[in-house]
């Protein structure tokens, strides 16, 4: 029988995950069907029980359930526990095990597009301190960074994330003015805030002129393809990357956990741009 997979969240109507995973199932010859389920918070617990009962093989978790699902699972990986969020669940012998592939997905996307940078122990500035910032910062801090600074509108959240990163590398919490003052000290600057998403597409969080000439600017947003942040960076001559490689690679890592196959991520980026994002 075809194995079942899915995504739970709300809203999920615009998610690219069903198209992505069903493409990979077809492409890899692995049998599977992936569906999106819109699940309001008050129905989360009973939905998880139901998915377990129908023998779902695995599922993704998105906004607003990434943290709320954790106590409903039988086991959570150390990385997901450190990040405080789960985006991928595997059912194994009737047990639901939670993982977080967001941060690793970011790192894989970075390695795919800028392989040298990841080996150079970069200094990184993260703008924002929400859920996505946590998953990216904690993986980069453990895996590649010599230093990772966090700046955020709500300074206390920057402090909390910076303290967590200090277990793995040097880290400082900054306000926006402090970050602008030392903008020349980073090899990678990552916007993880939701500023730049429709309808705030022309908004920018910090001033970026004065950054070192080889700095890579990254935005986790992929719709629009270029946020005001990336447009500014590109106009000033910097290298840029949007959130599509992260989206595709976090999905590829989930697909690998479910099937043992790591799919072709470059082909998927091209497919999503051609079909949904241009
Ligand atoms: N490419 C991918 O695969 C991927 C994966 C996950 C998320 N994302 C994207 O990442 C972004 C953040 O998601 P999230 O889950 O981390 O959201 P979140 O937990 O709600 O965090 C939002 C962050 O944005 C900041 N922010 C919001 N509005 C702001 C404003 N007007 N000025 C300055 N800062 C502002 C918040 O600052 P405060 O703390 O001060 O409120 C916080 O740091 C979203 O755009 C999402 O689409 C992409």
DSSP secondary structure letter of residue 63: T
Check pLDDT > 80 for residue 12. yes
pLDDT digits (tens, 9 = 90+) for 73-106: 999 999 999 999 999 999 999 999 999 999 999 9
Atom of ligand 1 at shortest range from CA of 63: 15
**What's the pLDDT band for 1 if we cut at 50, 70, 90?**
confident
- The domains of the chain, with CATH numbers, are 3-99+247-277 (3.40.50.10860), 104-241 (3.40.50.720)
How many CA atoms lie within 13 Å of 206's alpha carbon, on the beta-carbon side? 29
Give the closest residue to 17 by CA, choosing from 102, 136, 107: 102
**3-class secondary structure, 78:** helix
> Residue 197: which pLDDT band, with cuts at 50, 70 and 90?
confident
- Give yes or no: 3 in active site: no
Q: Whose CA is nearest to atom 1 of ligand 1?
A: 243
Helices (H), 43-101: 44-53, 78-83
Catalytic residue among 66, 111, 167, 257: 66
Contact indicator for 20, 28 with CB cutoff of 8 Å: no
Q: Is 87 in the pocket of ligand 1 (CB under 6 A)?
A: no
pLDDT of 202 over the 90 cut: no
Render pLDDT for 223-272 as a digit per residue (tens, 0 to 9).
999 999 999 999 999 999 999 999 999 999 999 999 999 999 999 999 99
153-157 mean pLDDT: 97
């Amino acid at each position: 029988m075809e194995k079942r997979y899915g995504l739970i969240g709300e809203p999920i109507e615009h998610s690219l995950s069903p198209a992505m995973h069903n493409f990979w199932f077809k492409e890899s010859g692995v049998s599977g069907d992936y569906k999106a389920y819109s699940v309001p918070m008050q129905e989360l617990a009973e939905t998880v029980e139901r998915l377990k009962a129908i023998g779902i093989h695995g599922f993704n978790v998105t906004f607003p359930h990434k943290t709320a699902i954790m106590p409903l699972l039988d086991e959570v990986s150390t990385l997901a526990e450190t990040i405080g969020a789960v985006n991928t669940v595997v059912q194994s012998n009737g047990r639901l095990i939670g993982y977080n592939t967001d941060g690793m997905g970011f790192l894989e996307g970075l390695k795919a597009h800028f392989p040298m940078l990841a080996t150079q122990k970069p200094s990184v500035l993260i703008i924002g301190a929400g859920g996505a910032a946590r998953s990216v910062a904690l993986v980069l801090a453990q895996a590649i960074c010599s230093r990772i600074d966090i700046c955020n509108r709500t300074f206390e959240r920057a402090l909390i994330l910076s303290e967590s990163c200090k277990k793995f590398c040097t880290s400082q919490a900054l306000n926006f003015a402090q970050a602008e003052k030392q903008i020349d000290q980073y090899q990678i600057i990552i916007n993880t805030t939701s500023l730049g998403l429709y309808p705030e597409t022309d908004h920018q969080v910090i001033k970026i002129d004065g950054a070192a000439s080889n700095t890579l600017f990254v935005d986790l947003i992929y719709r629009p393809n270029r946020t005001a942040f990336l447009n500014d960076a590109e106009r000033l001559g910097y290298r840029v990357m949007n959130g599509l490689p992260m989206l595709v690679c976090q999905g590829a890592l989930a697909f690998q956990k479910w099937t043992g196959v790591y799919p072709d991520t470059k082909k998927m980026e091209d497919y999503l741009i051609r079909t949904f994002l241009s």
